[in-house]
A and B are shown apart, each in its own frame.
Chain A
Amino acid sequence: MNRERRVYDDVFQTLPSLENPTPLVRLNRMNPSPDFTLYAKLEWMNPFGSIKDRAAWALLRDLERRGELGAGRGMVEPTSGNTGISLAAMAAARGHRLRAVVPDRVPLEKKVLLKLLGAEVEAVRDDLCPSPGAAEGSLNLARTYAKAQSARYVMPNQYENELNVRAHQETTGPELWSQTEGAITHLFVSLGTCGTVTGCGRFLKSRNPAVRVVAVQPSEGHDVPGLRNVRELGISKLYDPTLIDEILEIDFELAYIRARDLARGEGLLAGPSSGLIFEGARRIVERDRRGIGVMIFPDNVFKYVSSILRHLPELAEGVTAQEGVLS
């Protein structure tokens, strides 16, 4: 490996670390306050395209170290896509198997990517007339595999595994601190498994308790993959409200509108969850006026074309040649 020349022995050496952080990019045109420096941390620069590489790597390495994988035993994990994609790619490169149990509403692009990577994909109708106690279909089905077929499957369990938090405490958090030279005043994140918010929050507040951790959540009935509303967080054992200074609820339609705005205004090809985080950050910047803030942009927009078209149908207009123009 030669980091200076960016030559690596395998793809895993490109995973982010304090020496090789994902980029912070300053917003220049869409920042509402000149006295507030607002950065986006581009987590799609992870080798497998999202922030989930960090947790997935920690989970996978732990299973390998403990001898839980191999001899016909692979992984099963409930995922809205990104963790599955990270795990599937890593599993492929290291000779393991992955069964990804995904809610049916996950965008087609992610399901196809999972299959491209060789994962077994099982889609579950998760939101069918939900009821108390039913938990979530994908989580329960993954648990069923892990319990009923334990010789074939082990479940990393990103929702409960403390290593998910530790991955961010040991990589994302220190990167943020170092890249802002300890000057960060605001962190803007979304909530999903809560590994990011809890890990980064824990690290940053240990360095400076005054760092303000702002979480954004989509309004109810949302279809922003990977994100959760606090009322849906029962599933995550990693949620620690004491680390969060405020939670903003934002109309989920804005996730898609702001993703488009970021592309057109800043040239950032950010995904819908980043769009939602940007909207939250924008509101706080307008209110607080001063500071140095970082938005964690979990992934880019490429995997969400089908979702984007549902929300911004005008983007489909005029993209195919009209019949009969040439004769």
Chain B
Amino acid sequence: MSITRSATIGTEAPVLVSTGWVRDHLKAPGVRLVEVDVDTKAYEAGHLPGAVGFNWETQLQDRVRRDIVSREGFAALVGNAGITRDDTVVLYGDHNNWFAAYAFWLFKLYCHGDVRLMDGGRVKWLNEEGRPLTSETPAPRPARYVASGPDARLRARVGDVLAALETRSHDLVDVRSPDEFSGKVIAPPGMSETAQRGGHIPTAKSVPWSTAVAPDGAFKPVEELRRIYVEQAGLDPARPTIAYCQIGERSSHTWFVLRHLLGFEDVSNYDGSWTEYGSMVGLPIER
């Protein structure tokens, strides 16, 4: 078995598995693969054998409330995919696992026990030898899935951010590109989710999410990640930390790094992120 990194915190199961591990467990009972992409059509073109696809736009959020999917909605989605509470869920996707990390965060938020990310996501799988892909869609038998939570410690709301600014209780990390951080652009080109203003939340440190990624698309080694986030950016593993981006998926990626690869004790993801903060009336920003 080749788990790329032990990445284990306390008694938690490993949270990061290699493409090799996934290939060895494609047919393993109790291992369920879920693909979540930025490009919601990518799954149809081809995916790992047996993987189901979740659509982040229509299935992982409540578009009416403008919120994450509800506990009941999450339970229905996961149950319909044939996944039970006892299964090992392995998530992967495009863009270095942006939305796979977001889904990972949701699984943790709703207290699923064993959930993992496939290191390097679909690009790494695609470009390696001996890694099958299929366009056949599995038809899982729906399972009864009872979600619990949400675990409020993992999610920051705008009130939490404002309180943290007031009391300086948290470190803030902005994981967007330097041009978004500086306010030169409000959103990445081509992204429809935008805000009223460009800039960043006061006191936030800029560490673009992609600094955590190696040239092969996988996460960099833990020692290197520690150098980037702790030594260079000055984040403190013992201090509460809030990660944010534009809509919460890139920050899920960094949240995963800080919480699960570097073992920060208290990290939350501000999924409202810049689309919310940058549009609110009267809030302080920096450029």
Contacts and interface: CB of A to CB of B under 8 A. Distances in A.
Interface in A89-116: 104-105
B64 to A, nearest CB: 25
A72 interface: no
A106 B158 CA distance: 38
A133 interface: yes
A144 B126 contact: yes
A132 B46 contact: no
B250 A129 contact: yes
Contacts of A137: 39, 94
Contacts of A316: none
A88 B229 CA distance: 48
A224 to B, nearest CB: 15
A149 B135 CA distance: 6
A135 B215 CA distance: 9
Contact of A131 (B95, B133, B134, B189): B95
A71 interface: no
A90 to B, nearest CB: 23
Interface in B24-58: 38-39, 41-42, 45-47
Contacts of B134: 148
Interface magnitude class on chain A: 20 to 34
A148 B217 CA distance: 20
B177 A132 contact: no
B214 interface: yes
B39 A132 contact: no
A53 B55 CA distance: 38
Interface in B191-216: 191, 209-210, 213-216
A132 B45 contact: no
Interface residues of B, number: 34
A141 interface: yes
A208 interface: no
B210 A104 contact: no
A150 B71 CA distance: 39
A127 B189 contact: yes
B217 A143 contact: no
A132 B94 contact: no
A39 interface: no
A128 B42 contact: no
A145 B45 contact: yes
12 contacts: A124-B39, A129-B177, A134-B94, A134-B95, A134-B217, A135-B123, A141-B42, A141-B45, A144-B45, A144-B46, A144-B126, A144-B133
Given A128-B95, A133-B215, A145-B46, 12 more contacts: A128-B191, A129-B209, A131-B95, A132-B217, A133-B213, A134-B94, A134-B96, A134-B217, A135-B127, A141-B42, A143-B126, A147-B46
Interface of A: 104-105, 122, 124-125, 127-135, 137, 140-141, 143-145, 147-149
Interface of B: 38-39, 41-42, 45-47, 94-96, 120, 122-124, 126-127, 133-135, 176-177, 188-191, 209-210, 213-218, 250
